[in-house]
Structure 1
Amino acid sequence: MEQPGSPAHSVASESESKSVKVPSAIAKAGRDELQKMLMDTLKKIKSRDKKLAEASSALKQKQAECEKLKSTARTAGDEALPEELRQRLDEAERARDDAEQRLQQLQQSHDDAMQEIERRDAARDSEREDAKVFAKSTQDALLAAQDRIDEIQAQLKATEEAAAAARSETEDLQARADALDAQVRSYKSAMEAMAEANDEETGELRRELDFARAELDRSLAEVATLKGEISGSQQETERTGAALEELSAARDQIRCLEDALRDSNDAARARASELEAATEEAERERSA
């Protein structure tokens, strides 16, 4: 019979463990449960090994007794053996048979326990391998997640920088727009002030022109009256000459006033054109 722990027994147990399917209770057990099951099995094996050693020792003792009794029987002959000795011999043989049977049972129990240990070792190795694979996959996933986090952080940083640049550019554009608005308002105020001044100046010139024309009409009326009376007296002639001089002066004043009015209107229109062009340029810059 193969003894536990012998090379032949180990090879046979290994081949059996490879062909035996791992029980689901072992396959589903956790690491701590497998460790506890393994320790319990080792305790049972030690207890069975002790019983096996005791049974083997008892068997050897019984076999020695049987051999001694058989030797005595062969020497004295079966007929010469006392009844008590024959009974002892029979009992010894039965005890030997029982011990051999018990030894076989213990050996089978030991083999079963060893197979159980091998199955649990296989399950523990499988769990350890699965744990390694899981740890590796978890580590890879963590590395991939870290890479993704770094990428997202880089994108966020770039986005924040772009947003800051956009805000700065927006602030600059807003400042330019405010400056252009102020410039446009200044131009409009200047145009309004110039228009008011032009209106006042034009009104004043027109009033002077109307007054000059009225004076001219009055002078013409006086000239007509004087022409009617010129033949009457020399004094009237002199008065007519003075009136003519006044009329000539009034005409010169009217021409000066008309020239000044035209110059004022031309200057006002030129200034208005410049202000309109500047306003349009400011509007275009603000729109851009």
Structure 2
Amino acid sequence: MAKAFGFVDFGGPENQEFLDRPVLEPGPGQLAIAVRAAGVNPVDWKVRRGFLGRERALPAVMGSEAAGVVERVGPGVTGFTPGDEVFGVVAAGAFAEQTLLSAGASALKPAEVGFDRVAALPVAAATADDALRDVGVGAGQTLLVLGVSGGVGSAAAQIARSRGIRVVGTASDANRGYVESLGATQVRYGEGVADRIRAAAPDGVDGILDLVGGDDARAAAATLADRSRLVSTADPATAKELGGRYVTRSTTPGTLAALAGLVAAGELDPNISRHFPLAHAAEAMALVESGHARGKVVLDIG
């Protein structure tokens, strides 16, 4: 049996508990791994609350991304062998001592990068990379990131900077120093945000990555001439209303390998703000669910 953390019914954190589940065997296109680290993301509590549907079998192990050591490979899997250090999108929950990865959304871990740092990439950084592709801004242009201090925003700012894109991002004044450490210009969100964006980017913005939705997205859209370059990860309805679109996800081994390469080269810092052991998974979830986590939260396992 393997220790895991999950939920027994849809709803609030009162439904979370530790579980014992059998060691999993990989199916076609899967890798069985001994987990070393797992990222904690807002999508995890949204799944638990049933916001993304209630079709999954219960109890369910939480977590969407993990890194670890390959134990066995499933039928049809190539490019991975037992003993490989890997990371990727999970097929059976990440908050566990042992789990399954989807081989088509996994990559080898660079030897010089820790398990915790690559475990923080498949959700936030890969989403940021997908969104930047959809926005379509390039070197010398200006990208506005709404909600730049979170996990996706932090990654997007750094990836954009590595491509020669200037970044302006909305965040609280308390996060100004952090935003500047990402190579971005901080703009306070809230009432009057459009005027502050124009002051920070007098030549206008060439694309918007919206990570917050709502009124701030509506206000910020007024600073963008081509609304097709507004891409949201937060609010598909508002994005459509404003002439933009929701992000198209396409995590691939190549994408993940490229992101890990940026980490190895020092161009992308996953900005892990807190580490928790698996035994304190509930505390990690509470921090992320509060909305006050800056950067990434990671569980250290095994």
For the aligned pair, the TM-score class normalised by the smaller chain equals under 0.3
**TM-score, normalising length: structure 1:** 0.18
- Bigger CA radius of gyration: 1
Identify, as 1 or 2, the structure richer in helix: 1
Identify, as 1 or 2, the structure richer in strand: 2
